[in-house]
Structure 1
């Protein structure tokens, strides 16, 4: 018999990159509330890899301490670059090293993990563009944090190409760091 405080479905742990800008954490918390509203009865908890607490390892340890046998960890990342390949697995390992007996299933990133650009990602980008410039635009720059991982840069390029094709305007990629 499962204790009453445990749900039939495993809790969802959202993992954002993190930012010094407090609006980023507020946006992640709002997303967690929206996902929780869409999945009544399933705990949805935010976490961050950097700049904001709690980190995913702490959230996983807390879930294990509360008796949850498993969790689904969702990286809120657009590419399967360093953070997905190194930081996320390290957080899961850190939780287990801290004594957390919890099974963790890590999902794909939000971007094109299998080479295909998800139409929901494109719809979200179109919504944001419409909010920023309701009257339209004649070109788009898709700004990304940056990565040295050429496959991750390729996935950002696929998103830019798909977005440009949908909008009928040129769409170019620009990186803040770690990539030309």
Structure 2
């Protein structure tokens, strides 16, 4: 669906909402993702204005960005988050519900394209055939988010042709250190952690102490992530405000 292409229509307001981080490199990479997203949407013929917003740590906060948009104009919030969690189900959902003509797309993952990015990051980190692999997700208490992380681990397992365990940086079990220890207890001589994290920051920093032989870089940078976000936007626009096709 291309609601803002041609015909003199007003541009679509896309509010690309990230968690927020104190890490300068993380901030740079997330801002780069917004630029990549604008380019991908333009290449797809969608006239869109991509806005910056956050649910924590950084400004501007999502509520203030939505409130500042022109009244009556359509907007869609694109969570720059990898799976469902408190921020998508509460913070973002409530902020969008408070503004008319505003919908929300799904989180970036799971997506088979992300498995390719994770596999490339593992290769860059020194992964060898036969090394055990633990997918490290941020973590959430929501079962939906945990299922999505498990689906991402399954997609990576298919990409690599080997088993991949799933673990979490917080809020869910097993923890990443526990999963690494379990892999060693099962006989693995080397264990790699595939960081299912968008950018450097608090959680990625903690992975260095998980006891693994390698820890991958975060998913960004890479236009593949922007393409995944654009795909979630297309799905949401196709469903429309009622959530049906």
Q: TM-score range by the shorter chain?
A: 0.7 to 0.9
CA 1:56–1:122: 2 relative to 1, 3 Å: same
**Cα root mean square deviation, aligned:** 2.3
Sort the Cα spacing of 1:62 and 1:128 in 2 relative to 1 into closer, same or farther, 3 A. Answer: farther
- The answer for unaligned runs of 5 or more in structure 2 is 1-7, 174-245
Change (3 A) 1:30 1:158: same
How far, CA to CA, are the matches of 1:171 and 1:159 in structure 2?
A: 10
TM-score (norm 1): 0.77
CA-CA distance at 1:87 after TM superposition: 1.1
Give the deviation of 1:27 after TM superposition.
Answer: 1.4
Residue from 14, 35, 55 that aligns with 1:33: 35
CA deviation after TM superposition for structure 1 residue 22, in Å? 2.4
Change (3 A) 1:38 1:162: closer
Q: Residue in 2 aligned with 1:90?
A: 94
Instruction: Give, in angstroms, the shift of residue 24 of structure 1.
Output: 1.9
Q: Note if 1:61 corresponds to 2:67.
A: yes
1:160–1:62 Cα change, 3 Å? same
In the alignment, the residues of structure 1 paired with residue 39 and residue 144 of structure 2 have an alpha-carbon distance, to the nearest angstrom, of 34
Aligned match of 2:21: 19
Counting only pairs closer than 5 Å after superposition, residues 1-180 of structure 1 correspond to structure 2 as 8-40=10-42, 41-64=47-70, 69-93=73-97, 96=99, 102-112=100-110, 118-133=111-126, 136=128, 138-180=131-173
CA distance in 2, matches of 1:127, 1:44: 28
Which of structures 1 and 2 has the larger relative contact order (alpha carbons within 8 angstroms, sep 6+)? 2
Counterpart secondary structure, 2:56: coil
Contact 1:49 1:87 in 2 (8 A): yes
Report if aligned partners of 1:79, 1:109 keep a CA contact under 8 Å in 2.
yes
Distance change in 2, residues 1:93/1:28 (3 Å): same
Give the secondary-structure state (helix, strand or coil) at the position aligned to 1:11: strand
Unaligned runs of 5+ in 1: 1-5, 97-101, 113-117
Report the count of equivalent residues: 161
Corresponding residue number in structure 2 for 1:99: none
Alpha-carbon distance between aligned partners in 1 of 2:24 and 2:95, rounded to the nearest angstrom: 22
